[in-house]
Amino acid sequence: TQQFYWSPTELGFMESAFFYGYAITQIPGGMLAAKYAPNLLFGFSILIAAILNLFLALALSAHPHTDFIVLAIQICQGLSLGISYPAMHGVWRHWAPPMERSKLATTTFTGGYLGVMIGLPISAYLVSYIDWCAPFYFFGAAGILWFLIWFAVSAPTPEMSKSISDDEKRFIIEQVGQVTSSPATLTTIPWKEILLSPPVWAIVISNFCRSWTFFLLLGNQLTYMKDVLHLEIQSGGLISSLPHALMSIIVLASGQMADYLRSTGKMSTQMVRKLFNTLGFGGEALFLCCLSLISEPSAAVTTLIFAAGCSGFGIVGFNVNHFDIAPRYAPILMGFSNGISALAGASGFVLEHLVAAQGTKEGWRTSFLIAAAIDLAAMITFLVFAKGELQQWAKEKEPQQSMEDIVRRLSYIMRRMSSRRRPESGVKHKRLCEEDEAKRDWSTEKTADKEIQGLEVKLQSFMPPAEENYI
């Protein structure tokens, strides 16, 4: 800021530029992830942002009056990364068994917090001992390297993966196949039901409120430690990574605990989501209120660490709830909620810089109390309106079948069952059985009988109603 002579207000607008682009591509990203290969969308969103990071360093070092170019690159980075979280949900839509969604989704979320934990001290070191633009080059190159690895090992669906065993493929397909049989399209997405759904808005409001506090701590904690706690940038960079380290641990542990409580039947999905969301937002609000009253450096840092750490519980509440209420539309819901939460990042950066512009304790006290009030609002909203079961509007409708199609399918099944019961002998019988088992999904009589019963019910819908009285 000294080289470009940005005021605190101008700095707030420059930092918030990223979120303007980030908000725009959230919903389109969710729709793309529901239709196309989500792993490729996720990978390319990171790759483009990493390349833009290199250009950002060049723009910042090229000329002291490059505000417009810096602003444009920030917006473009936001446009690219706006696809990443919906695409991530698109990946788990195909890969995450219902009873493992919490731990799998939260494991990927942890990567973001670990990135902050590692990135802050690395950036502080690079700025102090190499050059102020060194972090841009370092993390830009790291993003490109990551993409090459991701492109080599990832796959859109379990069926297309070469890195897992056949048993793993069968298990995943059996668990998630029922809710991912057909992709959502622009015309089939129930927009009205989504916009009028209280559980959806419980997620959206929680995401918005959580983003406000997260970006307050992420974007301003180094400034707070320098201006209020009077810590050096080297030590501040290391200390500021500790909240995100604790957050990562809590997110991982909470994901495991949530799935344990659900899979063992000790608590319903709805109760688990509300419990962890309350621990996250309520705990963070409590520590932020305490932080507004503390001025002693070591106590303030400790309180800040626990405030950020508590927010990790909330990730297991609202941030995986999309999969519970509408797994088929999880990428769209993630894009919708994340797009609105991006407004918290944009407005939050500007407001926090205005409130804490003078670097006074009073300004920071106001910022922390505002964030605590926002956390409490999210906690109460989620407690009242959140749900844990599949919503009616999110259930996949069975395609309409004609009577001719049903009769043809019944005839096909009966012929296959008849051929299975035909006696064979010796090696030929064994070979035919093995081939039969390998080629058919309905390899047991139980499965075939169940399908026949379903087709008979459909056939009855074509029959005229039975007459009770006969003349």
Query: Could you tell me which residues come within 8 angstroms of residue 385 by beta carbon, excluding any fewer than 6 positions away?
Result: 198, 199, 201, 202
Tokens of 148: 């090459």
CA distance 453 to 226: 71
Domain boundaries defined on the chain: 8-394
Check if CATH label 3.40.430.10 holds for domain 8-394: no
Query: Are 213 and 86 in contact, with CB atoms under 8 Å apart?
Result: no
Tally of residues, the chain: 471
What are the pLDDT tens digits along the chain (471 aa)? 445 566 666 666 777 788 888 889 988 888 888 888 899 999 999 999 999 999 988 887 776 657 788 889 999 999 999 999 889 988 888 888 888 878 888 888 888 888 888 887 888 888 888 888 889 999 999 999 999 999 999 998 888 888 888 888 888 888 776 544 455 666 778 989 999 999 999 999 999 999 888 877 766 777 777 777 777 655 556 777 788 889 889 999 999 999 999 989 899 999 999 999 999 999 999 999 999 998 888 898 899 889 988 989 999 999 999 989 998 888 889 889 988 888 877 666 666 655 555 567 787 888 889 899 999 999 999 999 999 999 999 887 655 555 565 566 666 666 666 655 554 455 555 555 555 555 444 444 555 566 666 655 555 555 555 444 433
CA distance 370 to 271: 28
Across 343-355, b (16+ Cβ under 10 Å) vs e yields bbbbbbbbbbbeb
| Torsion, CA 235, CA 241, CA 246, CA 249, rounded to 10 | -130
- The angle at the Cα of 80, spanning 77 to 84, to the nearest 5 degrees, equals 120
Q: What pTM does this model have?
A: 0.73
CB neighbourhood size of 181 (10 A): 11
Burial grade of 434 (CB within 10 A; 0-12, 13-18, 19 or more): exposed
Give me the pLDDT at residue 64, please.
61
Give me the pLDDT at residue 413, please.
62
Query: Are 140 and 54 in contact, with CB atoms under 8 Å apart?
Result: yes
Taking phi over 0 as left and psi of -120 to 50 as alpha, with beta for the rest, 378 belongs to alpha
Query: Are 194 and 331 in contact, with CB atoms under 8 Å apart?
Result: no
CA distance 33 to 30: 5
Distances (CA, A) of 147 to 45, 84, 151, 179, 278: 9, 13, 6, 29, 36
CA distance 94 to 281: 30
CA distance 299 to 410: 73
Give me the pLDDT at residue 140, please.
94
Query: Could you tell me which residues come within 8 angstroms of residue 294 by beta carbon, excluding any fewer than 6 positions away?
Result: 300, 303
- Single-letter amino acid, residue 181: S
HEC letters along the chain: CCCCCCCHHHHHHHHHHHHHHHHHCHHHHHHHHHHCCHHHHHHHHHHHHHHHHHHHHHHHHHCCCCHHHHHHHHHHHHHHHCCHHHHHHHHHHHHCCHHHHHHHHHHHHHHHHHHHHHHHHHHHHHHHHCCCCHHHHHHHHHHHHHHHHHHHHCCCCHHHCCCCCHHHHHHHHHHHHHHCCCCCCCCCCCHHHHHCCHHHHHHHHHHHHHHHHHHHHHHHHHHHHHHCCCCCHHHHHHHCCHHHHHHHHHHHHHHHHHHHHHHCCCCCHHHHHHHHHHHHHHHHHHHHHHHCCCCCHHHHHHHHHHHHHHHHHHHCCCCCHHHHHCHHHHHHHHHHHHHHHHHHHHHHHHHHHHHCCCCCHHHHHHHHHHHHHHHHHHHHHHHHHCCCCCCHHHCCCCCCCCHHHHHHHHHHHHHHHHHHHCCCCHHHHHHHHHHHHHHCCCCCHHHHHHHHHHHHHHHHCCCCCCCCCCC
CB neighbourhood size of 227 (10 A): 17
Give me the pLDDT at residue 67, please.
77
